[in-house]
Amino acid sequence: MPSLIDRLRADQVSARKASDKDRTLLLGTVLASLKNKEIELNQEPTDAETIDVLRKQIKQRLDSFEQYTNANRLDLASREEYEIGVLKTYLPPEIDPEEIRAAARDAIAGGATELGKLMGILMGQFKGRTDGKVINQVAREALSEG
């Protein structure tokens, strides 16, 4: 099975052949960020590291979308929304928060009664498979219940 980076490269070539300028530019931007990550790591990023880069790209676009919406620049906001949609297709399906809650309850039962320790356990299990904010929120809820 090809790596996520290989899939992104292949999709960029397909977009270029189809004269889809928006998608070509977006994938070029993502691949440039991945190249920077490769230089930082001295090796090609793994799929998990690639997903981290994609999540950062999505977060940047969400911030831009919010700013454009607040400034009533709906043309620019819709472009950001389009790019977010394209980037999300490369992410794995989100984990059900209930699965994270169950893992949090198990960790708390195992002695992880502080947020830092609980987050360390949960991030080890779910990092790259869901947003860290979701994990943090579930961890805080689980600690307040317990």
Give 38: exposed, middle or buried? Use CB within 10 Å, 0-12, 13-18, 19+: middle
Residue 127 is given by DSSP the state B
Which pLDDT score, from 0 to 100, does residue 146 have? Answer: 62
Which pLDDT score, from 0 to 100, does residue 21 have? Answer: 96
Consecutive 10-residue averages of pLDDT for the chain (146 residues): 91 97 96 96 91 93 96 95 95 86 88 86 83 86 81
Which pLDDT score, from 0 to 100, does residue 39 have? Answer: 95
Which pLDDT score, from 0 to 100, does residue 112 have? Answer: 81
Task: Look at the domain 4-88 and name its fold.
Answer: Hypothetical Protein Yqey; Chain: A; domain1 (1.10.1510)
96 torsion bin: left (phi>0), alpha (psi -120 to 50), beta (else): beta
